[in-house]
Amino acid sequence: MIPTAFDYHRPTDLESVISLLETHGDEARVLAGGHSLIPMMKLRMADVGHLIDLQDVSGLQEVTVAGSQVTLGAMVTQHALIDHAELASVAPLIREAALEIADPQVRYMGTVGGNLANGDPGNDMPGIMQCLDASILLQGPEGERTVAARDYYEAAYMTERRDDEVLVSVRFEAPSGGHAYVKQKRKIGDYATAAAAVVLTRAGDAVGSASIAMTNLSDTPVWSEAAGRALIGSACDEAAVKAAVDAMLGDIEPYESNHGPVEFKRHAAASVLTRAIARAWERA
């Protein structure tokens, strides 16, 4: 379980990272916490000629909460997300999701940026950020650009990021109302069989707004606009929840894997979303 040999770089600023990416093209990969990339390298499923370790790059480790505007630096670990009291109070969905990722040791190393950039459909943060309508900030030779999380994922491991760009942070408006992240997994440390992220608001007795995203049920995360729309204006009763679940089922395309056959995944998807809507509504 030793990867092929690589050259190791540990730059201290983003300009050097980008310059290394420009020089080495698709032979180079940046390393955040490494808990997706290193296992793939050990299996020799990822062949990396130049590994660019971001651990000493300044400016990527900050959690910034300014009113309801939240910015998470790419190198903020899942452990740091869980431990951040202000973040937990402003955007508790992040903590609820981070607690579902991997196991304690992996969470000390695994980062929000790595989880977002990796592009594995099993990663949890992409669905969370689509639910929150977050913006992903990329930096490359031509400067910065922003891509909506909902537009970021093209296919498994294929994202909007170009080879010479680095994902530097993710930004979102903290939602008001209720939230929930419900993840069905076989064991701690496993990717989701199915997971649902929900944020919604209450307007009187009805649902004012709702956003729903699903994890590991297609080759990208799925933000189901139709599922959210099915809840808006309803009393979040059984019929409305069923309509939202049916709409979501129309948007996902699960494939058979070691987590189970397609029909089972669709069943699990319906189940986690039903629970997530109920929990978010209780909290709204």
Partner 1 sequence: MSKKMPISVTVNGQTHDLLAEPRELLIYVLRERLDITGPHVGCETSHCGACTVLMDGKSVKACTVFAAQANGASITTVEGLGTPDSLHALQRSFREHHGLQCGYCTPGMITRAAKLLEENPTPTEAEVRFGMAGNLCRCTGYQNIVKSILAAADEMNAEQEVAE
Q: Which residues bind partner 1 (CB under 8 A)?
A: 1-8, 10, 31, 34-35, 38-39, 41-42, 51, 53, 55, 79, 102-106, 108-109, 188-189
The CB-of-49 to partner 1 minimum distance in angstroms stands at 9
Can you tell me the distance from the alpha carbon of 191 to that of 269, in angstroms, rounded to the nearest whole number?
14
User: Would you say 6 or 264 has its CB closer to partner 1?
Assistant: 6
Among positive and negative, which fits the CA dihedral 255, 257, 260, 265?
Answer: negative
Can you tell me the distance from the alpha carbon of 186 to that of 188, in angstroms, rounded to the nearest whole number?
7
The CB-of-6 to partner 1 minimum distance in angstroms stands at 6
Can you tell me the distance from the alpha carbon of 223 to that of 4, in angstroms, rounded to the nearest whole number?
37
The CB-of-199 to partner 1 minimum distance in angstroms stands at 25
Can you tell me the distance from the alpha carbon of 125 to that of 93, in angstroms, rounded to the nearest whole number?
11
User: Would you say 176 or 257 has its CB closer to partner 1?
Assistant: 257
User: Would you say 50 or 161 has its CB closer to partner 1?
Assistant: 50
The CB-of-268 to partner 1 minimum distance in angstroms stands at 21
Looking up tokens 């039903």 gives 274
Q: Are strands 7-9 and 50-53 parallel, antiparallel or unpaired?
A: parallel
The CB-of-151 to partner 1 minimum distance in angstroms stands at 31
Q: Is 196 helix (H, G, I), strand (E, B) or coil?
A: strand
Total residue count of the chain as it appears in this document: 284
User: Would you say 27 or 133 has its CB closer to partner 1?
Assistant: 27
Using alpha carbons only, give the angle 178, 232, 155 rounded to the nearest 5 degrees.
80
DSSP 237: -
The CB-of-108 to partner 1 minimum distance in angstroms stands at 4
Q: Are strands 63-66 and 50-53 parallel, antiparallel or unpaired?
A: unpaired
User: Would you say 55 or 271 has its CB closer to partner 1?
Assistant: 55
User: Would you say 102 or 131 has its CB closer to partner 1?
Assistant: 102
Q: Which amino acid is at 141?
A: P
